[in-house]
Amino acid sequence: MKKDVLVSISGLQYEVDKDEPIEVISVGQYYNKNGKHYICYDEILEESDGVTSCTVKAAPGQIDIIKKGANNVHMVFETGKKNTTYYNTPYGDLQIGVYTAKIQVNEEEDKLSLQINYGLDINYAFVADCQIQMKITSRKQ
Task: Say if residue 134 is exposed, middle or buried (CB neighbours under 10 Å; 0-12, 13-18, 19+).
Answer: buried
What's 3-138's CATH class? mainly beta
Q: Could you state, in order of their start, the residue ranges of all structural domains in the chain?
A: 3-138
Cα(93)–Cα(109) distance, integer angstroms: 40
pTM to 2 decimals?
Answer: 0.89
In tens, the pLDDT along 47-104 reads 666 788 999 999 989 999 999 998 899 999 999 999 999 999 888 899 999 999 999 9
